[in-house]
Chain A
Amino acid sequence: QQPVQSPQAVILREGEDAVINCSSSKALYSVHWYRQKHGEAPVFLMILLKGGEQKGHDKISASFNEKKQQSSLYLTASQLSYSGTYFCGTALEVVSGGYNKLIFGAGTRLAVHP
């Protein structure tokens, strides 16, 4: 049930773009994205609901493809501060309740260098 994140790691130069994917084999109710820096708590980035919506947060945006049960996180013109591990968390679509159970991917390590 754990969503699959790809790639596992990315190395960028400042200003380059990156895409991180999160795929599930189950029908999803929502997808969350978080960034975690080493030794710190995860920081919430955004929630996407089924319906194919796209959201943005500064130069970080995400989409949710309901047909593929896949979400992608887009990091444009990367900055040094973008370095960290990115996690997607998925909540399954269930008939009654239970959609507040979050299952996280293993994470994608992103390193941005000058």
Chain B
Amino acid sequence: DGGITQSPKYLFRKEGQNVTLSCEQNLNHDAMYWYRQDPGQGLRLIYYSQIVNDFQKGDIAEGYSVSREKKESFPLTVTSAQKNPTAFYLCASRTHGSHQPQHFGDGTRLSIL
């Protein structure tokens, strides 16, 4: 089945540790996105990529890094510089072309130990 797969579903991070969240899609979508969702809040854009080997910062990029080496994959690293990483992280993708919505993965819930 075509879709967006995020892993792991739950992740725990120790102080000072970097962790990487995986996002893979087999929809042949060009653009991919990472959002953060805090309780009672909407989604805030961390990074996005419209083509392979290119990505742009969103509204809250500090403390995060990404790569886009393959069309299907857009991993997000939460670095030790991100002081408040506990949140629900959602990956999305969409195809180019007018009026196409973004589709989302099931998310990764990150907590601090």
The answer to whether A and B come from one shared complex is: no
Q: Which residues of B contact A (CB under 8 A)?
A: none
Q: Which residues of A contact B (CB under 8 A)?
A: none
